[in-house]
Amino acid sequence: MNKKQFERNILTVVFIGAFLATLGTSIINIAIPVLMDEFGTNVDQIKWTMSGFMLAMGTIAPITGYLGEKIGYRKLYIFSLIGLGGVSLLIIQSNDIYALVTFRVLQGIVCGIIAPSSIALVYQLIDKERQPFAISIFSLASMLAPAMGPALGGGLIDLFGWRSIFIINIPLSILAVLLSYKFLPNNRIKVNSSKINITSLFCSVIGTISLLIGFSYISQWGIVSEKFIVTIIMGSIFLILFFYKESNSSNPMLNVRVFHNRTFAISIFISCIITVALYAGALLTPIFLQNVQGMSALEAGRVLLPSSLVMALAMPVIGKLYGRIKTFKLVLAGLSLIIVGSIKLSGLAVDTAESYVMMWMVVRSIGIALSTMPVMNIGMMALPIELTGHASAINNWARQIMGSLSLGVFGSIMTSKTLEYTQQIEGSYLENQFDLISQATVLSINDIYLLSALIVIIGIPFVFLLKNEKCN
């Protein structure tokens, strides 16, 4: 087998795995209003099908590097794909919200292994000069899933019910396992053996869960409440202990010393900011289209499809541009477009035309595409090959935890702001309760879009710190 065919085979396997892992995150977005009706829940409860999934993805990250070094990323990748098919069978058996959330957490665990494992495979098996293009293919799969997710999920839900969006994981998982056995080589990078540290693992799990719970219940507890303060302080202490123990270990379970590399640390910070913008749109836009404008899941998917499709198709193009255009310019342009798109979407009204939503979601998506791959790749390429497994685990961990926290905070803010606006404008809508709730929901969505734009603005100065960094 020649080198080009070898790389093509690796990218095929990575593409399918990345697609499956991301599909688990994105395809449920369009189902949120349907699940709220099906199980009789509110936004604060149903968001755990998303945030619980991503929390699990983030929580498993510290052990992913350890498992990859112990059994090899090929075996780890295949085992996680088998697990994805199995847990999908459990999800479709859910008959209440608690079972659904529990099985979604299990799904998040296996997807949390798939994502960093596929990135590690790219950086360990693909030549360095081809890595930017390879990561653009990985990113293409990660963005193609959101592109197909709303339309595919909306169509399946309308025709066959919400369980169908999980049934499709089963044949795709089987296909991915077969191709992985055929194409992935069984070689492993020789590194110093990591050791699993139960205390460190305990600290990371308790820390991340505490932070998520605290931020998720801001609206119920209040930001100055004893519950909120204690939960946030406890989570912060446990994570500090985790980083302290791992940074002082000769064979860490998760090598957090990669943060000593300035370029990698900056890339992680900017990636977290991009994640905030990504998940703001993932939560807010489907709710606006379905709950406010009364669209079906399929109709909402049709409106969301262009933005996600543009994001996906832009990735290979950006992979070709990488190296020809400085990384900081690509990232700066991307963040600028995210800011503009988010500000425009902070001016929604109940009767806003779908073309307006579609256009500015496309602008945001182009921005996310321009910034996601370049900022991740410049951080990964700044590290030696033997640390790529740990770095990919940390990258995934940071993004998933930030996504979970974003959904928790945004969902809580939306609940509290909707109630606040309902009380403020109640006198104007005495004859139509639906108009009252719709108007209050739109105003709360606008506030959160504006907040997400302000958060992205914070990242702009850090982009210039990458100005003199080389991309290979």
| Whole-angstrom distance, CA of residue 63 vs CA of residue 471 | 29
Name the one residue in this structure whose structure tokens are 């139509």.
432
Domain extent, residue 319, equals: 3-197+249-466
At 253 the pLDDT is 78
Half-sphere exposure of 348 (CA within 13 A, CB side): 34
Mark 243-264 as b/e (b = at least 16 C-beta within 10 Å). bebbeebeebbbbbebeebebb
Nearest by Cα to 445 from 286, 223, 278: 286
Q: How many domains does the chain have?
A: 1
Q: What is the CATH number of the domain that holds 189?
A: 1.20.1250.20
Name the one residue in this structure whose structure tokens are 């653009």.
136
Tens of pLDDT, residues 125-166: 877 777 777 777 777 777 677 666 666 777 788 788 888 888
- Residue 209 in any domain: the answer is no
| Whole-angstrom distance, CA of residue 206 vs CA of residue 186 | 35
pTM of this prediction exceeds 0.85: no
Mark 279-317 as b/e (b = at least 16 C-beta within 10 Å). bbbbbbbbbbbbbbbebbbbbbbbbbbbbbbbbbebbee
- Residue 213 in any domain: the answer is no
Residues of the chain scoring pLDDT < 70:
1, 43-44, 143, 146-151, 187-196, 216, 218-220, 222-223, 297, 404, 426-434, 468-472
Give the tokens for residue 79.
């085992």
- Residue 214 in any domain: the answer is no
Q: Is 356 exposed, middle or buried (0-12, 13-18, 19+ CB in 10 A)?
A: middle
| Whole-angstrom distance, CA of residue 165 vs CA of residue 152 | 8
- Residue 421 in any domain: the answer is yes
- Residue 139 in any domain: the answer is yes
- Residue 204 in any domain: the answer is no
| Whole-angstrom distance, CA of residue 196 vs CA of residue 67 | 9
At 146 the pLDDT is 60
Asked if 41 contacts 411 with a C-beta cutoff of 8 angstroms, the reply is no
Give the tokens for residue 286.
């489907």
- Residue 233 in any domain: the answer is no
Rounded to whole angstroms, the maximal C-alpha distance in the chain is: 73
Name the one residue in this structure whose structure tokens are 């609206």.
219
Nearest by Cα to 328 from 472, 461, 466: 466
| Whole-angstrom distance, CA of residue 445 vs CA of residue 353 | 16
- Residue 206 in any domain: the answer is no
At 192 the pLDDT is 53
